[in-house]
């Protein structure tokens, strides 16, 4: 026998108000992205004629995108950022999983000591200058690995993965060991396939962090050919001479494109990959966070 709940008039009014509030909140979040994209494809003459604020352009142009991709800086910066994001995320996941799995087992000797040491790093660290001295001392400055190796493991992410592993039934691993699987075989064949939600969640954390990070490049990189896209965008915003910053070659076209249009197009290029990937990982992101926080 199914129970059908009928909403009262008050419930429907409350639902309508909630939908309106959520709709306005979504609009407030999406409008800046929409506005940046519209400004990047609107001819500058139309922007001037409409007072600098355009919602729906009468005509579009992709000259700004043609210009930045014909430059020497943006394609190189994208290659650096993609490499750091892909390789860095893979190394982050590998080291996080290899650290979290043994720490999820209460019988591992010294487990409590290592957990305490890891949690301690969440509260205290060596500081900016000592970290820079260590990175320089091991010869990572002005190399692409300076953007990956420092901070290879996030203590917060490791604890989330450890909690997820602890929530898996012990009987599954016991059955695998009865069938002759060792610890590594159990982890790769049994535990990891069952942990895809949390792996996707942590992978998204790491990937977004790598893609948006520019501070490490400011600290450790002086070679402009190794600048990631976010640092190039930061320098563009601070530098009024966009043509010099991007090493643009088509000076005639540059005269028709104001610096703001170039900046808007670069912002779109910088955020588009993450916007494209996130919808496919959103379900894992939500589920992984909920499951990973059930039990400590």
Residues 6+ apart with CB under 8 A from 227: 73, 76, 77, 80, 217, 221, 235
Q: Please say which residue of 35, 61, 87 terminates a domain.
A: 61
Q: Please say which residue of 46, 61, 76 terminates a domain.
A: 61
Structural domains of the chain, count: 2
Q: Please say which residue of 61, 85, 103 terminates a domain.
A: 61
Residue ranges making up the domain that contains 15: 1-61
Residue 221 backbone phi and psi in degrees, to 5: -120, 125
How far apart are the C-alpha atoms of 193 and 171, rounded to whole Å? Answer: 16
131 and 225 share a domain? yes
121 and 152 share a domain? yes
157 and 30 share a domain? no
How far apart are the C-alpha atoms of 135 and 67, rounded to whole Å? Answer: 36
How far apart are the C-alpha atoms of 144 and 163, rounded to whole Å? Answer: 32
What pLDDT score does 1 carry?
45
134 and 29 share a domain? no
162 and 238 share a domain? yes
> In this structure, how many other beta carbons lie within 10 angstroms of the beta carbon of residue 98?
13
35 and 137 share a domain? no
The H-or-E segment that residue 239 falls in is none
147 and 51 share a domain? no
How far apart are the C-alpha atoms of 64 and 131, rounded to whole Å? Answer: 39
User: CA torsion angle for 42, 48, 52, 53 (degrees, to 10)?
Assistant: -60
What pLDDT score does 249 carry?
45
**Could you tell me if 77 and 226 are in contact, meaning their C-beta atoms sit under 8 angstroms apart?**
no
47 and 75 share a domain? no
53 and 79 share a domain? no
How far apart are the C-alpha atoms of 81 and 270, rounded to whole Å? Answer: 10
Residue ranges in the chain whose pLDDT is less than 50: 1, 249-251, 253, 294-296
Residue 252 backbone phi and psi in degrees, to 5: -65, -45
Residue 195 backbone phi and psi in degrees, to 5: -110, 20
- From the list 230, 100, 234, the residue with the least C-alpha distance to 154 is 100
- From the list 192, 117, 122, the residue with the least C-alpha distance to 154 is 122
What pLDDT score does 84 carry?
94
164 and 267 share a domain? yes
What pLDDT score does 69 carry?
83
**Could you tell me if 88 and 210 are in contact, meaning their C-beta atoms sit under 8 angstroms apart?**
yes
User: Which CATH number covers residue 75?
Assistant: 1.10.3720.10
Helix extents (H) in the chain: 9-41, 44-49, 63-69, 74-103, 111-123, 128-137, 155-167, 170-178, 183-186, 192-194, 196-212, 215-220, 229-238, 242-246, 251-256, 259-292
42 and 91 share a domain? no
What pLDDT score does 96 carry?
93
41 and 163 share a domain? no
What pLDDT score does 106 carry?
84
């Amino acid at each position: 026998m199914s129970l059908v709940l009928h909403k009262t008039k008050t419930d429907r009014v409350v639902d309508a108000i909630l939908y309106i509030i959520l709709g306005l909140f979504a609009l407030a979040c999406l409008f800046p992205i929409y506005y940046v994209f519209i400004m990047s494809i609107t001819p500058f003459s139309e922007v001037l004629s409409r007072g600098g604020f355009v919602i729906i352009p009468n005509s579009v142009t992709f000259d700004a995108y043609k210009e930045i991709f014909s430059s020497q800086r943006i394609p190189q910066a994208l290659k650096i950022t993609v490499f750091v994001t892909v390789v860095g995320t893979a190394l982050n996941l590998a080291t996080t999983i290899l650290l979290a799995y043994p720490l999820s087992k209460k019988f591992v000797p010294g487990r409590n000591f290592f957990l305490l040491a890891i949690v301690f790093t969440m509260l205290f660290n060596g500081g900016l200058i000592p970290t820079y001295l260590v990175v320089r001392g091991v010869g990572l400055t002005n190399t692409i690995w300076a953007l990956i190796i420092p901070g290879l493991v996030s203590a917060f992410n490791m604890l989330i993965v450890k909690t997820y592993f602890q929530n898996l039934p012990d009987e599954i691993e016991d059955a695998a060991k009865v069938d002759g699987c060792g610890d590594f075989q159990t982890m790769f064949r049994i535990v990891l396939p069952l942990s895809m939600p949390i792996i996707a969640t942590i992978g998204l954390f790491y990937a977004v962090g790598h893609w948006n990070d520019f501070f490490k490049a400011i600290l450790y990189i002086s070679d402009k050919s190794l600048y990631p896209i976010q640092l190039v965008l930061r320098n563009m915003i601070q530098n009024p001479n966009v043509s010099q910053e991007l090493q643009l070659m088509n000076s005639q076209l540059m005269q028709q494109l104001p610096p703001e249009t170039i900046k808007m197009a670069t912002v779109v290029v910088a955020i588009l990959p993450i916007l494209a990937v996130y919808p496919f990982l959103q379900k894992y992101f939500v589920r992984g966070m909920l499951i990973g926080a059930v039990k400590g």
